[in-house]
Structure 1
């Protein structure tokens, strides 16, 4: 049960529910408890399970807990800026050491952005690790733009979000 009193939905390909690690006693008990609670959905053979959990997350306006980079979907939507922004705000990453640790989406965007005044804020550290402090380069447009081309001048390095 989540803090919002909603059951999570666990979407797994049917092969992950019926064989291999699913046959281990601890995993069998876990899968059985998910099934009993109505929290498990096994996708049919031949289907890509990604489409099911993506649909559920978008339809229910919820977060998705996955370490999947979703590259297939990113490449399928090349030229579309919407998917990377959606992923950044809705993907919760998971690490397991002594227990599960959830890495929530950042409270601010960590991609290049333009302010209302025309300044560009560019993160200098790449990657998806939101625990890493960000350094940002702030670039302002030159006030003496003569042609239609936008001239951008790097001016300052700032810490944290713009």
Structure 2
């Protein structure tokens, strides 16, 4: 019975993904959200994929610890490994916030997490940030490091900005 339920959930996910693939056009994404591998998931598809295969997927929130602490974290996330870290010694006047620098330990921590979960570089890795830019950059880093099945959640945890300046478009 468990195998039948698992098969049905997998078939549902595949059919949903195929339907989404027909309506989603990655070329419409802003350049900052595009990845080398061209693998994308919406927030909803991410949830479905992780729930259907929790032991076969590594789902990583790449936002800063402050973002996860103050905004929240998605329920099925395996762990938080920031792609960028806040540099509290340097203010970015243009963006009106602290400067952010790449996390030099990111790829190593992903490799450690994959090993801990018994996963290989060919297993799915899903990366999510606030709105899809950092997850795309992190996906490119992992693709260049030899990971072959890295997805970026293109609408992120909070989504894109509306015309009113709120993150309420998607996510």
Q: If the length of structure 2 is used for normalisation, what is the TM-score?
A: 0.30
Which entry has the higher C-alpha Rg, 1 or 2?
1
Q: If the length of structure 1 is used for normalisation, what is the TM-score?
A: 0.31
Which has the larger share of helix?
2
